[in-house]
Every structure is written in structure tokens, then in C-alpha cells.
């Protein structure tokens, strides 16, 4: 999958990967700070921002998308900085293709299995969407059940 990205700066490549429900702009302050020493690639991961959306989404697919971006940009190796879901994606890429990763920076996530604490929230949001609500009050009444 061809991912949307913004590039800035000059130097060794570093790819910034946002968290769940985020986009390339989430790490904008970090990108600006790094762009004087690195070529920064701020990426919208699949199903986020301006990148394509698809039913399939797991860390292997996300890592594969980033690898394709690296290939498309002729990056034989890049540093990765991932926040939350982006951190898990970066770890997956480093695990599968360690020779393509320079430095790995993982923020706000660990290589462990987490409980699915957002499942109820996501179900509530799905229920609101399916109910075709007409007001915030109606949405609030539905969400109060979750």
C-alpha cells in the first residue's frame, strides 16, 4: 500500500509513525526539531489520515506498508520513531527486517500484549454511527450505555 507522507529536512532518513487514530501531523513538533539534522518522513499509516483505507489492518501489514515506503523512496536503511501503535509497527519492522533499521525509538508502548480496553468505546461509537443520530443528546444517551 502506498502511504501518504510529508518529507522535510536533509540528512539521514528518519520515519515518524503516529499512534492509533492519529496522523502524520501528530508528531509535527518532533519532525520540525529533527529536520535540521535528518530527512524526516512523517507518515499517515493505513486507515489513518490521507493514506488508503482497507479492511485489513495488523502490525505485519502496517510494517509492510512502511517497508514499501522505504523501497519507493530508495531508502536502504532508516531510523524509525514510533509512538504507541506506530511504536508497535516500528518494532515489527525491526523484528522482520533488522538490516533496514538504523536506530529504533519507541515511545509510549512496550513489546507486550495489552488488554483490549478500547473495545467498549469502539462498540459505542459504532452503535452511534449505526443509529443515525440527529443530536449530541441522542449520541450521549447511546454512549451512556458503554
Instruction: Output the tens digit of pLDDT for each of the chain's 146 residues.
Output: 999 999 999 999 999 999 999 999 999 999 999 999 999 999 999 999 999 999 999 999 999 999 999 999 999 999 999 999 999 999 999 999 999 999 999 998 877 776 777 788 888 888 998 998 889 999 999 999 88
Backbone angles phi, psi at 41, to 5 degrees: -110, 105
User: Distance between CA atoms of 19 and 25, rounded to whole angstroms?
Assistant: 11
Strand partners, 105: 81
Written as one string, the DSSP assignment of 32-49 is HHHTTTEEEEEEE-TTST
Report the C-alpha gap between 70 and 123 in whole angstroms: 35
Domain map of the chain by residue range? Answer: 4-107, 115-146
Q: Which CATH architecture has domain 4-107?
A: 3-Layer(aba) Sandwich (3.40)
- 39 forms beta bridges with 9, 13
Amino acid at each position: 500500500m502506498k502511504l501518504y507522507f510529508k518529507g522535510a529536512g536533509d540528512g539521514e532518513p528518519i520515519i515518524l509513525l503516529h499512534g492509533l487514530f492519529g496522523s502524520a501531523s501528530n508528531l509535527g513538533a518532533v519532525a520540525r526539531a529533527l529536520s535540521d539534522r535528518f530527512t524526516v518522513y512523517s507518515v499517515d499509516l493505513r486507515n489513518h489520515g490521507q493514506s488508503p483505507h482497507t479492511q485489513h489492518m495488523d502490525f505485519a501489514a502496517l510494517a509492510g506498508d512502511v517497508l514499501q515506503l522505504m523501497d519507493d523512496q530508495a531508502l536502504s536503511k532508516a531510523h524509525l520513531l514510533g509512538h504507541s501503535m506506530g511504536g508497535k509497527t516500528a518494532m515489527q519492522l525491526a523484528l522482520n527486517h533488522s538490516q533496514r533499521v538504523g536506530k529504533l525509538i519507541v515511545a509510549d508502548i512496550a513489546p507486550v500484549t495489552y488488554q483490549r480496553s478500547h473495545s467498549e468505546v469502539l462498540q459505542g461509537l459504532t452503535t452511534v454511527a449505526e443509529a443515525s443520530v440527529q443530536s449530541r443528546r441522542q449520541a450521549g444517551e447511546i454512549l451512556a450505555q458503554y
